[in-house]
């Protein structure tokens, strides 16, 4: 089941992702990078993405929060890794800040197909590097 407004969020993210070429995303919000780098759980996913999926870049955005139960603020940080199409975890390689801290992308209230589409769009809008320790910068 999809949260109300999830399609609007996906459309907004995809519209942003459609502008420009590789590595031409808007500047990564520094507050999102700092929150990621201060969180050991987030960095653990980053390390997994780096080592097990050979990912080196990510799209980091501060975006309008969906009307999902666990995302309580109007704006939230979103990190989506530049995964290869067909990756077994495609649609799951990223995190969003919820009221519980960094959490899985399904908290956005998007369908599995929409999460895969979001993951694929990240490749066109990467704006930060991923390091071996899972940190962003």
pLDDT at 71: 64
Kindly tell me if the per-residue pLDDT of 124 is higher than 60.
yes
For residue 65 the two structure tokens come to 């929060």
Question: Which tens digits make up the pLDDT trace of 60-77?
Answer: 999 876 666 676 667 889
The answer to whether residue 104 scores a pLDDT higher than 70 is yes
3-state class (DSSP) for residue 62: strand
Q: How far apart are CA 39 and CA 44, in angstroms?
A: 9
What are the domain boundaries of the chain?
Answer: 6-129
Q: What is the pLDDT of residues 13-45, one digit of tens each?
A: 443 333 333 345 689 999 999 999 999 999 999
CA angle 61, 94, 44 (to 5 degrees): 115
Pick from 58, 51, 31: which is nearest to 130 by CA?
A: 58
Two structure tokens written together for 122: 């990240």
In sequence order, what are the beta bridge partners of 97?
Answer: 102
Q: 21 vs 137, which has greater pLDDT? A: 137
Helices (H), the chain: 6-17, 30-37, 40-53, 112-122
């Amino acid at each position: 089941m999809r949260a109300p407004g999830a399609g609007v969020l996906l459309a907004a993210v995809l519209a942003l992702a459609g502008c420009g070429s590789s590595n031409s995303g808007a500047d990564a919000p520094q507050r999102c990078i700092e929150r990621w780098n201060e969180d050991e759980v987030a960095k653990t996913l980053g390390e997994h993405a780096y080592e097990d999926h050979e990912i080196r870049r990510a799209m980091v955005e501060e975006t309008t929060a969906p009307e999902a139960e666990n995302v309580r603020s109007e704006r939230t940080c979103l990190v989506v890794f530049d995964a290869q199409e067909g990756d077994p975890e495609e649609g799951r390689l990223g995190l969003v800040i919820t009221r519980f801290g960094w959490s899985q992308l399904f908290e956005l209230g998007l369908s599995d197909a929409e999460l895969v589409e979001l993951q694929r769009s990240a490749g066109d809008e990467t704006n930060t590097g991923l390091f071996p320790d899972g940190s962003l910068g």
